[in-house]
């Protein structure tokens, strides 16, 4: 290999800065024209989000690199492949944004996103296991959902919590296709929603949530398959009956309401016994409840987890 030293390079071979700037603006112009799919630009730096590290929620595994966390996503509102959300959500506008918390509660409240961001937030490192067989380890920033539920005071008849993602096909191009019955709806039993592990999530890696990861606010439920962790939510409704979720509507034999990570119960089309941690070569064994059994298994005592999958 021939390596040239700087002294070997003639001034005429160095790009004139004016020409360089011209090329840059040409490339930026292309990007503005929608050519970003051809020339993906690096994700722009996000706003820092201060929080206190909660040492109780750590793991021995190294966090998945930021680059993978933010470019390998499932977010059908921005395309069905893993790469599209990072590109198609780049200009998604998340202000103004409110989350309405209502239904069977004594104090229905609409929270502005900037008020949520001012609450005391903590960082927790969680493993997230996708139903498709891959997993990541992500430092999330947020607050226990239970803190918000406490404020609205669920009534005695509230048994479940329903999460609804924004419905706006103008801003979410994936909603112009009928791949799912929009809006994306997910749900938890009330005790699951109140469980200390359930995180109302506003950031990751110490920054506000990147758009492709569910900005400006999502839930993260680490002992369940990733699809239970609904993104870009606008409504949290307390209800009496189990909500009909988007995935149950799409394929009820494949996606149950509980969707607890369970290596012993296969997806009808593939095994759930093993998973590939993004960034690793060899697969590893999937753990019951994604390794959070000690904290959550008691909530399912006596339930047949094959039936309630």
List interacting residues with ligand MTE (CB under 6 A): 73-77, 128, 130, 165, 184, 213-214, 226-227, 229-232
Question: Whose Cβ is closer to ligand MTE: residue 77's or residue 123's?
Answer: 77
Shortest separation between residue 171's beta carbon and ligand MTE, angstroms: 13
Whole-number Å distance between alpha carbons of 226 and 260: 10
DSSP string, 18-75: HHHHHHHHHHHHHHHTTGGGTSPPPPPPPPB---EE-TTS--SSPPPPHHHHTTS---
Question: Whose Cβ is closer to ligand MTE: residue 103's or residue 183's?
Answer: 183
Judge contact between 185 and 163, C-beta under 8 A. Answer: yes
Q: How far is CA 131 from CA 3, 248, 281, 286, 308, in A?
A: 48, 14, 18, 11, 16
Strands 233-239 and 274-277: unpaired
Shortest separation between residue 74's beta carbon and ligand MTE, angstroms: 4
Shortest separation between residue 85's beta carbon and ligand MTE, angstroms: 7
Question: Whose Cβ is closer to ligand MTE: residue 103's or residue 226's?
Answer: 226
* Helix/strand/coil for 186: strand
Shortest separation between residue 75's beta carbon and ligand MTE, angstroms: 5
Shortest separation between residue 153's beta carbon and ligand MTE, angstroms: 27
Whole-number Å distance between alpha carbons of 90 and 37: 11
Question: Whose Cβ is closer to ligand MTE: residue 75's or residue 257's?
Answer: 75
Question: Whose Cβ is closer to ligand MTE: residue 141's or residue 229's?
Answer: 229
Residue number, nearest CB to ligand MTE: 226
Whole-number Å distance between alpha carbons of 160 and 174: 28
Greatest Cα-to-Cα distance within the chain, rounded to the nearest angstrom: 80
Shortest separation between residue 186's beta carbon and ligand MTE, angstroms: 7
Whole-number Å distance between alpha carbons of 210 and 67: 11
Question: Whose Cβ is closer to ligand MTE: residue 229's or residue 290's?
Answer: 229
């Amino acid at each position: 290999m021939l390596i040239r030293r700087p002294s070997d390079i003639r001034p005429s071979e160095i790009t004139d800065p004016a020409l360089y700037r011209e090329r840059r603006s040409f490339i930026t112009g292309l990007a503005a024209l929608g050519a970003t799919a051809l020339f993906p630009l690096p994700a722009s730096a996000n706003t820092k989000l201060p929080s206190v590290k909660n040492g109780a929620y750590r793991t021995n595994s190294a966090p998945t690199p930021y680059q993978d966390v933010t470019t390998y996503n499932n977010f059908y509102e921005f395309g069905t492949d893993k790469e599209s959300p990072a590109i198609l959500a780049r200009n998604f506008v998340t202000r103004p944004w409110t989350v309405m918390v209502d239904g069977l509660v004594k104090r229905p409240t609409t929270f502005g996103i900037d008020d949520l961001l001012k609450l005391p937030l903590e960082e927790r490192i969680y493993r997230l296991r996708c139903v498709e067989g891959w997993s990541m380890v992500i430092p999330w920033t947020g607050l226990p959902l239970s803190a918000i539920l406490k404020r609205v005071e669920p009534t005695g008849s509230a048994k479940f919590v329903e999460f609804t993602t924004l419905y706006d096909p103008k801003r979410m191009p994936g909603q112009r296709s009928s791949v799912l019955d929009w809006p994306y709806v997910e749900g938890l039993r009330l005790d699951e929603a109140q469980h200390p592990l359930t995180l109302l999530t506003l950031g990751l890696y110490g920054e506000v949530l990147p758009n492709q990861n569910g900005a400006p606010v999502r839930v993260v439920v680490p002992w369940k398959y990733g699809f239970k962790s609904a993104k870009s939510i606008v409504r949290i409704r307390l209800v009496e009956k189990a909500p009909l979720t988007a995935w149950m509507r799409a394929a009820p034999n494949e996606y149950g309401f509980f969707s607890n990570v369970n290596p012993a119960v296969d997806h009808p089309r593939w095994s759930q016994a093993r998973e590939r941690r993004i960034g690793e070569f060899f697969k590893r064994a999937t753990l019951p409840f994604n390794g959070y059994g000690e904290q959550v298994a008691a909530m399912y005592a006596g339930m047949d987890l094959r039936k309630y999958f």
